[in-house]
Every structure is written in structure tokens, then in C-alpha cells.
């Protein structure tokens, strides 16, 4: 199965080609849907097979490279289309194909009747193809190819309903925003790649990381590489300052939000940092930057999430916030904890989005939670699974979110200090609060919609079964990473599985202080109690005593307004960056530099070339004698030259 890993890349691509080329001819939605889902399903089975094959091997033999062919080799640059199968890529591949498959199946139900049904599945498969290239690549170039590929698919899918309105503009605007902001990050990533090639003279992971481990390279160089790579990660994974595109990305269909903008693509930055752990570990200053950016993003996005009224917006900010946790983990050197959170987050956040999709589906495209209420009795399955996910993300034991979040918080405390832990816990409390605000406003209480016009209904089986599967994963998914203090001598399975990948980075970090288990349990209790009271508080405000919410909002009107308007970040970017650039472009660059200078130069050159071209053409008289004379002159000139130069 390991040797067949390339099929997990090719099958989605085949699905893309089939649906992309023949999709418009195949009228049957079932066939299109199952071609798309089947391609991912089979890929998932192959990954599972490869996983079991790998886990049966001793830890030091678990890395395999499957080379398809050598793509480019020029000088020392050697790029192969080769896939690296190891603990990290397998973990990611399981998430991508597993959750991807579930979401594909869900989409068959969700996209039913859409005129772009085939296009949707073609794009979705293309996305999985690019994503698998990203995570399985054994070199930076192939990773970058996947990186750009998922960006493209994200663009295509955000703007999928290109004829619909979205907020002040169209979905096309949201898609463009995502693409442009990502390009800024990609620029950083490219610079990082160039610098890596300059420093290590290779772009192959194994070569770069072995050399990074063996060579003596100054911290400054490492810092620049890590910084550039991290800028790339902030773009793709929506961190400060490049997070602004993700909330707008909600313009796409909800399964897209679940798959691309929650479970998989946005974690690509985290994956990339984990993959380059040795480089980041060699740049302590940048590690701190990563941790602080992660922490601030987590807090910042969570506060915005408190007051949003669009069900998908709340989830989007929640995603930004949870991604912040993952970067916090990376920054404090808890790489496997970060990847663990990537996994559990994929489960419960995909579930939340799919649940939201189910609600939107049942409520005829209404997304404002103020216009929901009391949906519990209309959509029991959606409610139950949503509740599971909300508890999981709030970090209540023993659900999946608890284990991964707690591990990050503990590592933050142990490796970075109290303040990191404290802000992390505050964020966790906020998370629990806004999640249950969302839950209560949507499912509990009285309905606030017009019952005569809107008849909410439970979604079809094709949509609820995926919800149930994800709910089971959200409950049980955390058990593979039970911390040492609970599992005793077995240790943390997830850790020991990923440990070989990060061992070099951990040696370089070597900063694990010794902390007692007593402290760990104490911190754990504090965060759990905090989250639980946060949930109770949300329940109290939004079910029992709604006046409190209004009262608080009016009392802290300014803060409320700031939060509601997302700290005016979009406006600030618009005024400070976009408008000035736009103005300069229009007046200086376009009207003067471009039109007058460059166009003048280009047009001038072009007319010069055309003039010259027209003149020289006249040499071509059509008379053979002239031709012979020109040849003769050429020969004479060449002869003189060569004899003269001797």
C-alpha cells in the first residue's frame, strides 16, 4: 500500500478530469457525486492501508519515499515528483482523505439540484489532488505546487456561486480577496524557499533537514528562513495580519467551508511549520514570534466571535482562533500537540460547519442566528451532533478537543510561561461562551422566525450520516492522544507515533523544564472548570435572562461595536494599505509611469521593431543574385574576422 501512495494523488485527479470533462454531459447527480466521492474514498482506503503497514514497522524504518519520476534537474537543483510517506504525512493524509470523503458524501445531499453540481465535484476533487501533493511532497517545489493548487481551488470554490451577492459585493470579491491575501503570504514562502536553496543547496526535505542538522549555520540565516516561511503560513492559515480573507471565504458553499476553510487547507501552514520543525527550532526568536502571533490571533478572533450573528462567520472566527492555538503549539515547540489539534479540530470543526450547513439547508439559506431559535425539535440529529461538537471545541473532557487543547495549554505553560497559558485559557473560556451562544440561539429557546413561511426540516440521510460519523470521531478522537498522566506507562500514543519526525527539533530546543504532574492536573482542572462555567453563563444569558445580553451590549456599546465590526481591521487595511496603493497606482503608476513612460517605451519599441522589421524585409528582394551577394558578403566578413583574430 505504501508503494501505491501515488494513487491517492492520481485518483482525485482522475475524478477531477472525469467530472470536469464529461460532467456537463452526465445528467445524473448520483453518478457525478459518487465518482467524486469514490475517488476520495478509495484514496482513503489506500492511506489506511499504508498507515497499518507503516505502524507495523519499527519506528526508525517508517519513512518511505515513493518516486514517480525525476522532473527537473539542473545543476544542483533536483526536483522529483516524489511522495514521502512518514508519520506526519500519513497523519495529515488520513485527515484529508477521511474528512474529505465524509464531506464529499455530505455534498451530494447539500448540493442537490445546483446547476453547477458537476463543477462543484470537479473542483472538490482537484482540491484534494492539490492538497495531497502538498502533504505528501518530498520537496519544497512539489509542496509549493500543491500550496498554489489549493489556493486556486479555494479561489474557485469561494466564488462558486459567482452570480450571488455576498455582503457588500459579490462572491467573486470574496474569492479575489482570499487569493490576493494568500499571494502576499506565498511571496514570503517563495522567498523562504529561495533562501533555503541558497543556504542548503537543495530543496529536498531530507537533504535540507539533514544538512540543517549537521551544518553550522548562523541563527540569523535560520531566522530569516523561518520568518519567510512563517509569513507564508500566516497567509494560508489565516493568522494575524493576513487572517482577513477567511471570514469572507464563507461566501462559498458550506461543504467548502468545512473542507477547505476549516479542516484541511487552512492547516497547511501548521503542517508546513511542523515539517520544517528543525529550521524553526534553530531560530528561537522566530519561535517566540510564532507563539505570540498564534496566541494573539486566538484571543483576537475569539473576541470577535462573541458578537457575530452570521452562523458561518462565528465558525469562521472560531477557526481562525483555533488555528491560533495550533501556531501557539508550534511556537512553544509542542509540534505533535499542534498536529494533534489539527486532527481533532478537523473532526469537530468540520462537524460544526456541516451542522451549520444542515441548518442553513433546513432554513432556506437563512444564516442569521438571531432569526433562528428552537430548531432542536425540527432537527434533532443536527442538534445532537452540533452539541457534541460544541462540547468538544469547548474542551470538556473526555471529548476530543479537551485532550488536544489541554496539551497545548500545558506545553505553553511548561515551555513559555504563565502568561501564555493564561491568555490561552481566557481564549478557551471565550470559545466555550460563543459556541454555546451560537448553540442556544440556534437550537434552544423560542423560534424567532415566521413559522408560516419557513418550515425547518431535518436534512436527508446523506447529510445526517456524515454528521453522526464526525460526531463519533469528535467524541472518541482524542483517546489516541491521552496524556501520560492518565494512561500511565503507555505514554501518549500520538506523541510516540510522531516523535521521530520532531526528534531533531526537540534536541535542538532542549528546553523542557521539569514540571510535576500535580501542576498539570491543577491547570487542567482550572481550564475545565472555567469552560464549564462559561457554558453555564452562556446558557444563563441566552436562555434564562436575555436582558443581560442586551444590557451588556448597550452598557459597553463602544466595545460591542468594535467587536461587531471586527476591530475595523478590514477598514484599516483598506485605508492604510489598499487605498493608498490604489491611489498611487492610479495617479502615479498608471497615468504617469504606465501610460506615459512604459506604454510610451513599449509602444515606441514595438513601433521601432516594426519599422526595422519593415525596412529589413526589403532586403528580401526575391532576386537570387542578391541572395548570393549577401551570402558572399557574409563569408568575406567571417573570413576577415577569423583571420584577423588569429
Is residue 624 a contact point for other proteins (CB under 8 A)?
Answer: yes
**Cα 581 to chain centroid, rounded:** 28
**What whole-number distance in Å separates Cα of residue 40 and Cα of residue 354?**
18
Judged by CB under 8 A, the residue of 71, 486, 537, 560 near other proteins is: 71
Is residue 643 a contact point for other proteins (CB under 8 A)?
Answer: yes
- Return the number of the residue (587 or 626) whose C-beta is nearest other proteins: 626
Is residue 635 a contact point for other proteins (CB under 8 A)?
Answer: yes
- Return the number of the residue (215 or 643) whose C-beta is nearest other proteins: 643
> What cell numbers appear for 61 in the block?
524504518
Is residue 518 a contact point for other proteins (CB under 8 A)?
Answer: no
By CB atoms closer than 10 A (0-12, 13-18, 19+), residue 370 is exposed
Q: What is the DSSP string of 250-263?
A: GGS-HHHHHIIIII
Is residue 21 a contact point for other proteins (CB under 8 A)?
Answer: no
Q: In the bound complex, what is the minimum distance in angstroms from residue 390's beta carbon to other proteins?
A: 47
Residues whose CB is less than 8 angstroms from the CB of residue 299 and which lie 6 or more positions away in sequence, other chains included: 321, 324, 423, 426, 427, 430
- Return the number of the residue (496 or 626) whose C-beta is nearest other proteins: 626
Is residue 579 a contact point for other proteins (CB under 8 A)?
Answer: no
Is residue 512 a contact point for other proteins (CB under 8 A)?
Answer: no
Sign of CA dihedral 249, 255, 258, 261: negative
Judged by CB under 8 A, the residue of 3, 67, 73, 288 near other proteins is: 73
Contact, 277 vs 502, CB < 8 A? yes
Is residue 616 a contact point for other proteins (CB under 8 A)?
Answer: yes
- The DSSP 8-state label assigned to residue 372 in this structure reads -
**What whole-number distance in Å separates Cα of residue 479 and Cα of residue 347?**
13
- Return the number of the residue (588 or 612) whose C-beta is nearest other proteins: 612
Give the H or E element holding residue 166. strand 165-166
- For other proteins, the binding residues in 115-134 under the rule CB under 8 A are none
Q: In the bound complex, what is the minimum distance in angstroms from residue 13's beta carbon to other proteins?
A: 14
Give the H or E element holding residue 170. strand 169-170
> What cell numbers appear for 338 in the block?
499542534
Is residue 113 a contact point for other proteins (CB under 8 A)?
Answer: no
> Secondary structure of 297-313 in the HEC alphabet?
HHHHHHHHHCCCCEHHH
Q: In the bound complex, what is the minimum distance in angstroms from residue 185's beta carbon to other proteins?
A: 24
Contact, 558 vs 426, CB < 8 A? no
Is residue 600 a contact point for other proteins (CB under 8 A)?
Answer: no
Is residue 646 a contact point for other proteins (CB under 8 A)?
Answer: yes
Is residue 418 a contact point for other proteins (CB under 8 A)?
Answer: no
What count of residues does the chain have?
646
Is residue 641 a contact point for other proteins (CB under 8 A)?
Answer: yes
Is residue 614 a contact point for other proteins (CB under 8 A)?
Answer: yes
Is residue 620 a contact point for other proteins (CB under 8 A)?
Answer: yes
- For other proteins, the binding residues in 50-69 under the rule CB under 8 A are 69
Give the interface segment with other proteins, choosing from 241-249, 278-286, 440-448, 622-630 (CB under 8 A): 622-630
Q: In the bound complex, what is the minimum distance in angstroms from residue 203's beta carbon to other proteins?
A: 15
Is residue 612 a contact point for other proteins (CB under 8 A)?
Answer: yes
Is residue 25 a contact point for other proteins (CB under 8 A)?
Answer: no
β-sheet bridge partners, residue 78 = 73
Is residue 503 a contact point for other proteins (CB under 8 A)?
Answer: no
How close are the terminal C-alpha atoms of the chain, in Å?
Answer: 66
- Return the number of the residue (513 or 614) whose C-beta is nearest other proteins: 614
Is residue 610 a contact point for other proteins (CB under 8 A)?
Answer: yes
- Return the number of the residue (555 or 617) whose C-beta is nearest other proteins: 617
Is residue 491 a contact point for other proteins (CB under 8 A)?
Answer: no
Is residue 602 a contact point for other proteins (CB under 8 A)?
Answer: no
- The DSSP 8-state label assigned to residue 478 in this structure reads G
- Return the number of the residue (213 or 607) whose C-beta is nearest other proteins: 607
3-state helix, strand, coil in the chain (%, to 5): 80, 5, 20
- Return the number of the residue (52 or 627) whose C-beta is nearest other proteins: 627
Contact, 36 vs 17, CB < 8 A? no
- For other proteins, the binding residues in 134-173 under the rule CB under 8 A are none
Q: In the bound complex, what is the minimum distance in angstroms from residue 606's beta carbon to other proteins?
A: 8
Give the H or E element holding residue 111. none
Contact, 263 vs 321, CB < 8 A? no
- Return the number of the residue (74 or 214) whose C-beta is nearest other proteins: 74
Residue 531, SS3? helix
- Return the number of the residue (581 or 628) whose C-beta is nearest other proteins: 628
**What whole-number distance in Å separates Cα of residue 506 and Cα of residue 509?**
5
Is residue 525 a contact point for other proteins (CB under 8 A)?
Answer: no
520 phi/psi in degrees, rounded to 5: -60, -45
Count of residues near other proteins by CB under 8 A:
34
Is residue 598 a contact point for other proteins (CB under 8 A)?
Answer: no
- Return the number of the residue (513 or 622) whose C-beta is nearest other proteins: 622
445 phi/psi in degrees, rounded to 5: 70, -160
Q: Can you tell me which residue has the cell 433546513?
A: 362
Contact, 237 vs 329, CB < 8 A? no
Residue ranges that bind other proteins, judged by CB under 8 A: 69-75, 606, 609-610, 612-614, 616-617, 619-620, 622, 624, 626-628, 630-631, 633-635, 638-639, 641-643, 645-646
Amino acid at each position: 500500500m505504501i508503494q501505491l501512495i501515488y494513487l491517492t494523488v492520481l485518483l482525485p485527479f482522475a475524478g477531477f478530469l472525469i467530472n470536469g470533462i464529461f460532467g456537463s454531459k452526465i445528467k445524473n447527480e448520483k453518478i457525478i457525486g459518487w465518482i467524486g466521492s469514490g475517488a476520495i474514498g478509495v484514496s482513503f482506503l489506500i492511506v489506511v492501508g499504508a498507515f497499518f503497514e507503516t505502524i507495523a514497522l519499527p519506528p526508525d524504518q517508517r519513512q518511505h519515499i515513493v518516486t514517480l519520476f525525476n522532473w527537473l534537474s539542473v545543476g544542483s537543483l533536483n526536483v522529483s515528483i516524489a511522495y514521502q510517506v512518514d508519520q506526519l504525512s500519513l497523519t495529515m493524509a488520513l485527515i484529508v482523505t477521511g474528512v474529505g470523503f465524509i464531506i464529499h458524501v455530505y455534498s451530494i445531499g447539500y448540493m442537490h439540484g445546483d446547476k453547477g453540481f458537476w463543477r462543484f465535484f470537479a473542483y472538490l476533487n482537484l482540491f484534494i489532488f492539490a492538497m495531497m501533493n502538498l502533504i505528501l511532497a518530498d520537496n519544497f517545489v512539489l509542496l509549493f505546487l500543491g500550496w498554489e493548487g489549493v489556493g486556486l481551488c479555494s479561489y474557485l470554490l469561494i466564488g462558486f456561486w459567482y452570480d450571488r451577492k455576498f455582503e457588500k459585493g459579490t462572491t467573486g470579491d470574496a474569492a479575489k480577496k482570499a487569493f490576493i491575501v494568500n499571494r502576499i503570504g506565498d511571496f514570503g514562502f517563495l522567498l523562504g524557499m529561495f533562501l533555503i536553496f541558497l543556504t542548503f543547496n537543495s530543496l529536498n526535505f531530507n537533504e535540507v533537514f539533514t544538512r540543517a542538522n549537521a551544518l553550522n549555520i548562523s541563527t540569523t540565516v535560520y531566522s530569516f528562513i523561518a520568518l519567510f516561511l512563517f509569513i507564508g503560513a500566516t497567509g494560508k492559515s489565516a493568522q494575524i495580519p493576513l487572517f482577513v480573507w477567511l471570514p469572507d471565504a464563507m461566501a462559498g458553499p458550506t461543504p467548502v467551508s468545512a473542507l477547505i476553510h476549516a479542516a484541511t487547507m487552512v492547516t497547511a501552514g501548521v503542517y508546513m511549520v511542523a515539517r520544517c520543525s528543525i529550521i524553526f527550532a534553530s531560530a528561537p526568536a522566530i519561535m517566540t514570534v510564532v507563539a505570540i502571533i498564534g496566541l494573539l490571533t486566538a484571543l483576537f478572533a475569539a473576541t470577535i466571535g462573541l458578537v457575530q450573528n452570521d452562523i458561518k462567520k462565528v465558525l469562521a472566527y472560531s477557526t481562525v482562533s483555533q488555528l491560533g492555538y495550533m501556531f501557539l503549539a508550534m511556537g512553544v515547540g509542542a509540534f505533535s500537540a499542534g498536529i494533534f489539534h489539527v486532527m481533532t479540530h478537523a473532526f469537530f470543526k468540520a462537524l460544526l460547519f456541516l451542522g451549520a450547513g444542515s441548518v442553513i439547508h433546513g432554513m432556506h439559506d437563512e444564516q442569521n442566528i438571531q432569526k433562528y431559535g428552537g430548531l432542536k425539535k425540527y432537527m434533532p440529529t443536527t442538534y445532537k451532533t452540533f452539541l457534541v461538537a460544541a462540547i468538544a471545541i469547548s474542551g470538556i473532557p473526555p471529548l476530543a478537543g479537551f485532550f488536544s487543547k489541554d496539551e497545548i495549554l500545558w506545553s505553553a505553560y511548561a515551555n513559555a510561561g504563565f502568561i501564555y497559558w493564561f491568555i490561552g485559557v481566557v481564549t478557551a473560556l471565550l470559545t466555550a461562551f460563543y459556541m454555546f451562544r451560537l448553540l442556544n440561539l440556534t437550537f434552544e429557546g423560542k423560534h424567532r422566525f415566521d413559522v408560516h413561511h419557513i418550515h425547518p426540516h431535518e436534512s436527508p440521510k446523506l447529510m445526517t450520516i456524515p454528521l453522526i460519523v464526525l460526531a463519533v470521531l469528535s467524541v472518541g478522537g482524542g483517546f489516541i492522544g491521552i496524556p501520560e498522566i492518565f494512561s500511565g506507562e503507555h505514554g501518549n500514543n500520538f506523541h510516540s507515533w510522531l516523535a521521530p519526525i520532531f526528534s531533531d527539533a526537540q534536541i535542538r530546543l532542549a528546553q523542557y523544564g521539569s514540571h510535576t504532574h500535580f501542576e498539570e492536573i491543577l491547570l487542567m482542572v482550572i481550564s475545565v472548570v472555567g469552560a464549564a462555567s462559561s457554558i453555564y453563563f452562556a446558557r444563563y444569558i441566552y436562555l434564562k435572562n436575555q436582558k443581560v445580553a442586551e444590557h451588556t451590549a448597550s452598557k459597553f456599546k463602544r466595545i460591542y461595536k468594535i467587536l461587531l465590526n471586527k476591530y475595523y481591521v478590514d477598514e484599516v487595511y483598506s485605508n492604510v494599505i489598499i487605498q493608498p496603493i490604489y491611489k498611487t497606482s492610479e495617479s502615479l503608476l498608471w497615468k504617469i509611469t504606465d501610460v506615459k513612460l512604459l506604454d510610451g517605451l513599449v509602444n515606441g519599441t514595438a513601433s521601432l521593431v516594426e519599422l526595422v522589421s519593415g525596412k529589413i524585409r526589403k532586403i528580401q528582394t526575391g532576386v537570387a543574385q542578391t541572395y548570393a551577394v549577401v551570402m558572399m558578403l557574409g563569408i568575406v566578413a567571417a573570413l576577415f574576422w577569423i583571420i584577423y583574430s588569429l
